[in-house]
Amino acid sequence: MTLAQSLTAIVVFWAIIGGLGASLLLPAMQSLIHGNFTGAAQKQAYALVGASAAIAAAVGPLIGGFVTTYLSWRVGFALEVVIIGVVLSQIGLVKDVPYTGSRKVDVVGAVLSVIGMGGVVLGILVWQEGGEFVVLLIAVGAVALGSLAWWLVRRKRQGKVTLLDPDLFRHPNFTAGISAQMMQQIALGGVMIALPLFLQMTLEYNAMQAGLSMAPLSLTMFVTAVLVGKAKGERRPATIIRAGFVLATVGLALIIPLVPRVDSGWYLAVPLVIVGCGLGLLVSQLNNYTLAPVAEDRISEAAGVNSASGNFGLSFGLAVAGGVMLAALSFSFTNQVQESTVIPPAQKDQISAALEDDAEVMSNSQLDALITEEPPEVEEAILTINDDARNLSLQIALLVPVIAGLLGLANSFRMVRLPDIAPAGDLEGMDFG
């Protein structure tokens, strides 16, 4: 194993450990909110949780960009340790909620859930890197998810402990809520990977400049979540969620025709503000809509499912949008090189083979330095092709969050048709049809 492979393995290991910590923290936090707050206070608490996530989205790219550009990416990990230390020092302020459920663990269900969601996302990442066994990995993930559903139903019928209660999915409000959560996170993940890549490759922005260019989205998302969370209007949560998907989808769609004209991050400011307003409306409502109706004895597993759907959606959006963007860039670059009338036929295959992979992560300056030995007209043609391919690849990649927004919008109409349920109501006795 080479040094690079060893470092990669270490990074992946610690990423998994960090992901497990976040996976445990989020549902626990949502359970604590459900147990400590009721009524309007619970709604505001869930909104503040959404706003805190928006704060992270707003501050994270800026701090991360500054640290990466002017210090080192290693400093970023050190800062996370400091933040965790501060949180742990104040853990005494958290009022615990007694747990009355079974202490047994559904090991098989847990393993199937990890293999299922992990297999799908890992397959997409392997495809993005041009690796092998992509179909096999995704198929294993899909089979594991199907097996998980069968296992949960079987265990429930046997009266044994399950990873989560399958009856949760019989409730239309809960399934609509987690579906919206997933679509919102896919849209967020897609735009947060595609636009920074485009800004760094096309406009040659460093990490700090790319983070500043994304600030209109993240800051607007934060402000909107806070304001809507504090509002005491009578508007239905489902209506606000529908408006959020409308704004997010419209803002993302507006970026697509602007891509070939963008020569500064300011071109994206207005569409990103619209997207941020939409996402802010969503994060202010989704947790409360999904979890408030759940009974006390089922909130932990419901919160776990809610968090898992969001985490899976974010991972899926990042992986698919990033993979689609790089695949479209590679295909478009190679295809345009082959169709060029300026590049000599004898050099087309050589240029395609040499630049197909490297052009994915190169700015024009880096690419220009690589082809300095080519005649001026050939060099100009290659740079023009790379520009066109990058613009097209971003437009195609943005279709991922746009489609997620449209699916979320369609789901929101179903949410509007469903009746509102009083917070902390018991699922027992409800109409699960």
**Which tokens hold the place of 53?**
């996530």
Q: Within 13 Å and on the Cβ side, how many CA atoms surround 68?
A: 13
| pLDDT score for 410 | 96
250-254, 355-359, 415-419: which has the minimum mean pLDDT?
Answer: 355-359
C-alpha span between 24 and 307 (Å, rounded): 9
Q: Side chain identity at 51, as an amino acid letter?
A: A
C-alpha span between 293 and 274 (Å, rounded): 30
Q: Side chain identity at 433, as an amino acid letter?
A: G
Per-residue pLDDT averaged across 26-50, rounded? 62
What residue spans define the domains of the chain? 16-90+163-328+392-417
Per-residue pLDDT averaged across 224-252, rounded? 86
Per-residue pLDDT averaged across 354-369, rounded? 60
| pLDDT score for 56 | 66
Q: Side chain identity at 206, as an amino acid letter?
A: N
**Which tokens hold the place of 209?**
């400049």
Across the chain, mean pLDDT equals 77
| pLDDT score for 374 | 73
pLDDT band at 429, cuts 50/70/90?
Answer: very low
| pLDDT score for 316 | 85
More confidently predicted of 222 and 5? 222
More confidently predicted of 193 and 100? 193
**Residue 311 phi, psi (nearest 5):** -65, -40
| pLDDT score for 415 | 92
C-alpha span between 224 and 278 (Å, rounded): 8
111-115, 292-296, 374-378: which has the minimum mean pLDDT?
Answer: 292-296
Q: Side chain identity at 109, as an amino acid letter?
A: G
Nearby residues of 330 by Cβ (< 8 Å), 6 or more positions away? 356, 357, 359, 360
Answer yes or no: are the C-beta atoms of 252 and 432 closer than 8 Å.
Answer: no
Per-residue pLDDT averaged across 206-234, rounded? 79
| pLDDT score for 58 | 54
- Shortest CA distance to 423 belongs to which of 251, 286, 287, 294? 294
For the segment 379-403, what is each residue's pLDDT rounded down to a tens digit?
A: 888 888 888 888 899 999 999 999 9
For the segment 249-274, what is each residue's pLDDT rounded down to a tens digit?
A: 999 999 999 988 888 888 899 999 99
* H helices, E strands: number in the chain: 14, 0
Asked if pLDDT for residue 360 goes beyond 60, the answer is no
- Shortest CA distance to 416 belongs to which of 149, 148, 177, 114? 177
C-alpha span between 207 and 63 (Å, rounded): 10
**Which tokens hold the place of 404?**
């997620």
More confidently predicted of 331 and 67? 331
C-alpha span between 221 and 232 (Å, rounded): 19
For the segment 92-114, what is each residue's pLDDT rounded down to a tens digit?
A: 776 766 665 666 777 888 888 88
CATH number of 16-90+163-328+392-417: 1.20.1250.20
E strand or H helix that includes residue 224? helix 207-230
Per-residue pLDDT averaged across 315-337, rounded? 84
Asked if pLDDT for residue 76 goes beyond 90, the answer is no
| pLDDT score for 16 | 39
Per-residue pLDDT averaged across 352-368, rounded? 60
131-140, 154-163, 300-309: which has the minimum mean pLDDT?
Answer: 300-309
C-alpha span between 198 and 324 (Å, rounded): 13
- Enter the DSSP assignment of 236: -
Nearby residues of 174 by Cβ (< 8 Å), 6 or more positions away? 168, 290, 293, 294, 302
**Residue 145 phi, psi (nearest 5):** -65, -40
Instruction: Compute the Cα dihedral for 237, 29, 170, 293 and give only its sign.
Output: negative
C-alpha span between 312 and 49 (Å, rounded): 19
| pLDDT score for 126 | 78
pLDDT band at 425, cuts 50/70/90?
Answer: very low
